[in-house]
């Protein structure tokens, strides 16, 4: 999608601190981290939100879940992490390109800001 900010990151049109990339996914550091480790894992394919998933995305989403603990461990959140999908306006979703927040790192850190 042309004007989607995360599609622009996928295409390299705007900079991001990339943590992982393969044919189907890219993970990058959140621009406003809520904890010492805050990655955004996104499919390269534009899917707006969890609410837009279809049967054809089953394998892709399975792969996404398997990637999460691997990326967390590789980026300093091996002792535990939160995963979060904000979905839709009332779910607090701001960027309408499906993304998994992977949030963790050594405590203490507050998680109050994750609820917004």
The catalytic site residues sit at 99
Question: Which span sits near ligand 5GP by CB under 6 A: 18-26, 61-69, 71-79, 86-94?
Answer: 86-94
Give Cβ neighbours of residue 6 (< 8 Å, ≥ 6 apart): 40, 42, 46, 95, 97, 99
Q: Which residues of 49-58 are buried (b: 16+ CB within 10 A; e: fewer)?
A: bbeeeeeebe
Does 16 engage in binding with ligand 5GP (CB under 6 A)? yes
Q: Which is nearer to Zn ion, 84 or 95 (CB)?
A: 95
Burial of 80 (0-12, 13-18, 19+ CB in 10 A): exposed
Binding test (CB under 5 A) with Zn ion, winner from 19, 20, 36, 46:
46
Task: Choose from Zn ion, ligand 5GP, none: what does 57 bind? Cβ within 5-8 Å by kind.
Answer: none
Tell me if 93 contacts ligand 5GP by CB under 6 A.
yes
Q: How far is the CB of 65 from Zn ion (least distance, A)?
A: 20
């Amino acid at each position: 999608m042309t004007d989607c900010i995360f599609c622009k990151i996928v295409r390299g049109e705007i900079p991001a601190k990339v943590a992982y990339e393969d044919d189907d996914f890219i993970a990058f550091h959140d621009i406003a981290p809520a904890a010492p480790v805050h990655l955004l894992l996104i499919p390269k394919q534009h899917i707006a939100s969890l609410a837009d998933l279809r049967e054809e995305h089953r394998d892709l989403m399975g792969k996404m879940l398997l990637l999460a603990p691997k990326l967390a461990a590789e980026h300093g959140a091996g002792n535990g992490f939160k995963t979060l999908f904000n979905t839709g306006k009332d779910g607090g979703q701001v960027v309408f390109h499906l993304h998994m927040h992977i949030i963790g790192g050594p405590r203490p850190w507050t998680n109050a800001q994750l609820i917004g």
